[in-house]
Amino acid sequence: MQLIKSAILLASAASLLAIGACSADNDTKTAAPASTDPAAATVNGTPISQRTVDMVARQGANSGQPDTSESRKNIIDNLTLQMVIAQEAIKNGLDKTPEVADQIEAMKQSVLANAYVRDYIKKNPVTDDMLKAEYDRIKATITGTEYKARHILVEKEAEARDIIARLKKDPASFAKLAMEKSKDTGSKAQGGDLGWFDPSRMVPEFGAAVSKLEKGKLTQEPVKTQFGYHVILLEDSKPIEAPPLDDVKPQLSQQLQQQNMMKQLDALKAKAKIEVAGAPASAPSAPASAPAK
């Protein structure tokens, strides 16, 4: 579930391991404190913790990949290979290059930012009272009417007028004519039945025509839209009602969670002293090629 539409992204296990490997620079004389977590493997004396393997396995399970002994073996194989490569990169001094150092710092900031987001959400859950208050607020804004109708869509006006004339003689034949004549493949098999809908979600001409009809009545003139000519039968109408709270609780909870998180991030940003050094620099343009001789 994406909670923040920003550059804050969950770092991959590869990024986490790369950070760990770079912090364990073999050239430094001060050794990092030994981890108390059990090691799933070691590479040249540097452990890969079982906790890291568990984390990668959980991420895979969340993506639909089965957590099996074989998948965990593959995880350990990948992590050990990555550690070997990371150690070799450190031996070659690649962790000291500005580009790599910047990437490591960016990954670190991303991991920390996401850790804060998860911690805030955990400590500030959406309560039932908050859900009920938001539901009542949204429910109070819902107005209008929804309609249940059938239609027959044809290409030419003359054909639509002929259908209207036939229906005036035999109103009960609407569904049969829709299955025979209608170009709307979505409703044709259902005898032109569109179910319940909000007219504002239809093309304007169609919505306006439905709104003017009385229950059980037929449009007396073809209704022209960008799709062709419609013959419409209004079967019923009712005030638009909000769905039950239990039906929308998951979506509403996620929405409130997003809103609360964004308010917190906006507050943090407002309190921070942020100084931007002029307009962002654009990427340097590629040098012009030399003219052909």
pTM of the predicted structure, to 2 decimals = 0.61
Q: Note the pLDDT of residue 28.
A: 36
Structure tokens at 254: 């996620």
What are the angstrom distances between the C-alpha of 282 and each of 149, 278, 285? 56, 12, 9
Q: Note the pLDDT of residue 281.
A: 64
Least confident of 17-31, 111-125, 165-179, 195-209: 17-31
User: CA angle, 28 as apex, 24 and 30 as ends, to 5°?
Assistant: 85
What are the angstrom distances between the C-alpha of 73 and each of 62, 66, 173, 251? 18, 13, 66, 37
d(CA 219, CA 154): 14
The pLDDT of residue 277 is above 50: yes
- Residue 8's pLDDT band (boundaries 50, 70, 90)? very low
The pLDDT of residue 97 is above 50: yes
For the residues 219-228, what does the mean pLDDT come to?
97
- Residue 181's pLDDT band (boundaries 50, 70, 90)? very high
- Residue 1's pLDDT band (boundaries 50, 70, 90)? very low
Q: Note the pLDDT of residue 13.
A: 36
> 72-84, pLDDT tens digit by residue?
999 999 999 999 9
Q: Which domains does the chain have, with CATH numbers?
A: 13-123 (no CATH), 140-239 (3.10.50.40)
> 102-123, pLDDT tens digit by residue?
999 999 999 999 999 999 999 9
Strand 223-225 versus strand 46-49 pairing type: unpaired
Short-list 255, 220, 18, CA closest to 131: 255
